[in-house]
Amino acid sequence: MTAHDAFTIEPWGLCEQSLDLDVLARAESVFALSNGHVGMRANLDEGEPHGLPGTYLNGVFELRPLPYAEAAYGQPESGQSVINVTNGKIIRLLVDDEPFDLRYGDLHEHQRRLDFRDGLLKRSALWTSPAGRTVRVTSTRLVSLTQRAVAAVSYEVEPVDGPARIVLQSELVANEQLPSANGDPRASAVLEAPLVAEHHAHNGAKAVLVHQTRFSNLRVAATMDHIVECDSPFQGETETEPDHARYSVTTVLKKGQKLRLVKFIAYGWSAARSLPAVRDQVAAALTAARFTGWDGLVEEQRQYLQEFWARSDIEVDGDVELQQAVRFALFHVLQAGARTEERAIPAKGLTGPGYDGHCFWDTETFVLPVLTYCLPDAVAQALRWRYTTLPMARERAAQLGLAGAVFPWRTIRGEECSGYWPAGTAAFHIGADIARAVERYVRATGDAGFERDFGMEILVETARMWRSLGHHDAEGRFRIDGVTGPDEYSSIADNNVYTNLMAQANLRAAADAATRHLHEAAALGVNTEEMAQWRDAAAAMYIPYDEKLGVHPQADGFTNHEMWDFENTPAEKYPLLLHFPYYDLYRKQVVKQADLVLAMQVRGDAFTAEQKSRNFAYYERLTVRDSSLSACTQAVIAAEVGHLDLAYDYLAEAALMDLHDLGGNTRDGLHMASLAGACISLVAGFGGLRDHDEHLVFRPRLPSGLSRVAFAMRLRGNLVLHVAITRAEATYTLREGEAIKLVHDEEELVVTADKPVSRPIPRPVPLERLHQPPGREPARRHAQSGPTVASVDPTGMHEGE
């Protein structure tokens, strides 16, 4: 089975029609369920065979050393890795004493289906044991979006050709054996037995296990309870030991009789609470789940998603596969952020251990812009988590001899975990990325209380960092030297345009917020002199420009570097950093991922239309997309400058990153930034949305392959704006709220609840297709097809590291 034919193409769900054990880990990521607090990979109910077992709690990690060949001041001393916590998914089945194991006997049917409208993973199988007994097994699994600590499984077995002795074993398993490391440095560091048992107990059909991590000292509790429905008499019993709990149900079923087991699972953890407190916390969550019942949990899930899709759906007409991929993307972005509640949103969400479960700048730059307009409460929670890490960010800044706060490049709890300083510590733009997310959230929601209580302190401390990191040169220009921008094939550069423009916005936003909240600013030690310094630095910010070429260099001197020899770089030598030394990459004109082009997206107000067009054409020839973060940004700017079909190609690459396993590493978890980027490609690319100031601006255009794109946005004051775009016109409808001001192609509009507004869209002007490095062109997109594209980012760095 190839990546392209693994799943059916349908608009509202994903269906796997057969089981391919060779790519089991990929499907476990794709069908993973999460609510941002609990994450469960789609391992088979019986636990084996598996690709990569995984149950994750957001924020639960273990410490590991970061070895260095040579010691140096300021290097992080330890890393943090997400761990596989107690597995509550397992329900083993024995048929006449033979385990239900799909590697043996005959598997006649096997199907798994995930419906984005109800959030349920449904599975059905028809299997004949080696002894010749045939049973039908069906299961449904959910991770609750309404009850944060809760997951549940409904498991049913039925003999179809005669009587059978049936045993179900529902388990909690801690420290389960994981596959050996595969040599891919993106994958999580495998930690053997990270959980130390503290407590185990059972009562009736209930059981609980409590553990503590060995080095990070986090307490983790998991508990389960059961309801049994059976057409025949049955017997149930429970047993526990330090790392294992089992509830067993035994019965004899005649042909056509059924045994159904409903399993409720609850998880909790704490770095501070006592064992009794954490144990009682999960007991309470379990009691609430039992009270709600299976049908109640299913209905709550359906209602939650019904409201989400009514206010946040993205519709795509003309390409069914792309429609499916975009809803898949939105569903997983929702799952990643729904119930984080002051925890990070990792680069893989809670779908796998890739990148050690770390959070990067991906969250603020790609994921939070999507959530801002569909689930703003999740954005507030994610930014509150950043706020809680400010003490560590201040300590890091002091260690580096800087003022303010330096946020980590990669982390789980808040400490810097990147051992490679040119791509980690030197990527100071993370501070401005976080500040930009704060600014966007406050502007979109009007949440002045958040800005006052949380956002302003982030803005102030990051502005202080920029003021101390940069300096005014002899010509009065404010320079920021020796930093790394988004492109990881350029490092320790002077005046990276993306970094300088983001810092400029950060400095202005801090001054503006301090002006709005003078009392709170004074409490942080901000005075009028400091605010004036921020404004002066922003006004004098140096933005390099190559007058001879008529383009912006990515950083000072970049356009003077030697061109990479693309013509003589064969396809098998990509990604480049696996085949060439960094020093060679750093001194050549070659771009791993959008950098200057990303600057034109997030700070489009700083470029003219002509500059955008010339810059985009220049960097298309240099960008090899060895990172999954690039295609979505290239899609947005390609659409803006008029290369609509090229934008369509890049959109498809971003949207199908995991469904087609384009990077070859979906087994380790989904690419949340690329999934979010697919949504951005449609809304900011073909919708032309720009949110640089108080009014939303739309400049919609469609490529030839799409006949209609529509999306909804949640805005301040509980407004819901719906935008529908065809090739001829755009229609703006206010579904909730009284009135909203916006801009369509330079025309200011007022849209009221009772009067949708339609405006024509000019016909696109055909442009000659731009050239990319040989062999790195995006696949041409044709509706409902699944073209392959070059492998993306199978590297030791993260998507954006």
What does the DSSP assignment read for 321-374?
HHHHHHHHHHHHHHHHHTT-SSS---TTTTS--GGGG-B-THIIIIIHHHHHTT
Angle ∠(696,461,424) on CA atoms, nearest 5: 90
C-alpha to C-alpha distance for 346 and 361, rounded to whole angstroms = 10
> Residue 609 contacts by C-beta under 8 Å, 6 or more apart in sequence?
641
C-alpha to C-alpha distance for 96 and 101, rounded to whole angstroms = 13
Confidence (pLDDT) at 181: 56
Confidence (pLDDT) at 110: 97
Pairing state of beta strands 234-241 and 244-253?
A: antiparallel
Confidence (pLDDT) at 180: 66
For residues 490-528, one letter each, b for 16 or more C-beta atoms within 10 angstroms of the residue's C-beta and e for the rest, the string is bbebbbbbbbbbbbbbbbbbbbbbbeebeebbeeeebee
Q: What is the pTM of this model?
A: 0.95
Q: Which residues of the chain have pLDDT under 70?
A: 1-4, 180-190, 783-801
Closest CA to 131 of 176, 177, 100, 173: 100
C-alpha to C-alpha distance for 307 and 303, rounded to whole angstroms = 6
488 labelled catalytic: yes
> Residue 461 contacts by C-beta under 8 Å, 6 or more apart in sequence?
390, 393, 394, 397, 404, 405
DSSP three-state, residue 467: helix
Tokens of residue 707, six digits: 């006949």
For residue 147, say whether it is annotated as part of any ligand binding site.
Answer: no
The secondary element (H helix, E strand) that includes residue 127 is: strand 120-128
Give the domain ranges of the chain: 13-27+87-186+194-310, 313-415+423-693, 694-763
For residue 306, say whether it is annotated as part of any ligand binding site.
Answer: no
| Cβ neighbour number for residue 387 with a 10 Å cutoff | 18
Pairing state of beta strands 729-736 and 757-760?
A: antiparallel
Tokens of residue 270, six digits: 């704490």
Q: What is the pLDDT of residues 95-121, one digit of tens each?
A: 999 999 999 999 999 999 999 999 999
Q: What is the pLDDT of residues 440-462, one digit of tens each?
A: 999 999 999 999 999 999 999 99
Architecture of the domain made up of 313-415+423-693: Alpha/alpha barrel (1.50)
Helix 672-680 to helix 644-655 angle (10° resolution) is 150
For residue 362, say whether it is annotated as part of any ligand binding site.
Answer: yes
Helix 376-388 to helix 456-469 angle (10° resolution) is 50
Domains 13-27+87-186+194-310 and 694-763 share a fold: no
C-alpha to C-alpha distance for 611 and 604, rounded to whole angstroms = 10
Active-site residue, from 416, 461, 488, 640: 488
The secondary element (H helix, E strand) that includes residue 536 is: helix 528-539
CATH class of the region 13-27+87-186+194-310: mainly beta
For residue 235, say whether it is annotated as part of any ligand binding site.
Answer: no
Bridge partners (DSSP) of residue 203 are 206
Confidence (pLDDT) at 69: 74
- What are the helix (H) ranges across 400-527? 429-445, 448-450, 456-469, 497-516, 518-523
Confidence (pLDDT) at 423: 86
Confidence (pLDDT) at 182: 52
CATH 2.30.30.100 for domain 694-763: no
